[in-house]
Structure formats: structure tokens, C-alpha cells
Amino acid sequence: MDIIKVKANSRTAAVAGAIAGVIREHKHAEVQAIGAGAVNQAIKALVLAKGYLAEDGIEVICIPEFVDVEIDSKVRTAIKLIIEPR
């Protein structure tokens, strides 16, 4: 399963659909965002996905954590959201 990577200009509805689809298929999703704008989009997408999944009777929880990511030989700190059914 791949990590869903979110950028500041990512469409929230598209990310929400990806989260909901991965949860339905794999029962576990990971979303990664670097920077305030990306984290904002990721959280908004999570709220939308929670609503999509609630329509199917799936209640989810989110566990946030920091993770170091290497981009162009530089280590950056990202926020990783682990999303699982309750």
C-alpha cells in the first residue's frame, strides 16, 4: 500500500476520495504532508473522507505522528496521518 502524499495545492475532494477508497480496500491508510498548507489540505480531506465512510457505516480514527523524509538529499519533517477503522 502506498502513502497518500498531499501538497498545499492538492484538491481536498480528490484526496478524500483516495483516503476513503484505500480504507475500504485495505482497512488502513497513511497520509503524508510537509508544510502548513499541505497539512491543512490533508486534515480537510480527512474530515471529508470521514463523512464519505460514515455513509457506509465505517467509523475511522486518526493517529498523527512526525516522520523524517529525505527529499533531494535533505531531511525534512513531515506529518503522517495513520487512518484506521475504529
Q: How many domains does the chain have?
A: 1
Instruction: For residue 11, give every residue at least 6 positions away whose Cβ sits within 8 Å of its Cβ, in sequence order, or none.
Output: none
Q: How many CB atoms neighbour CB 12 within 10 A?
A: 18
53 lies in which domain range?
A: 4-85
Could you give the CA distance from residue 45 to residue 43 in angstroms, rounded to a whole number? Answer: 5
CATH number at 61 reads: 3.30.110.20
C-alpha cell of residue 86: 475504529
This model's pTM is above 0.85: yes
pLDDT tens for the chain, 86 residues: list them: 689 999 999 999 999 999 999 999 999 999 999 999 999 999 999 999 999 999 999 999 999 999 999 999 999 999 999 999 99
Alpha helical stretches, state H, the chain: 12-26, 36-54
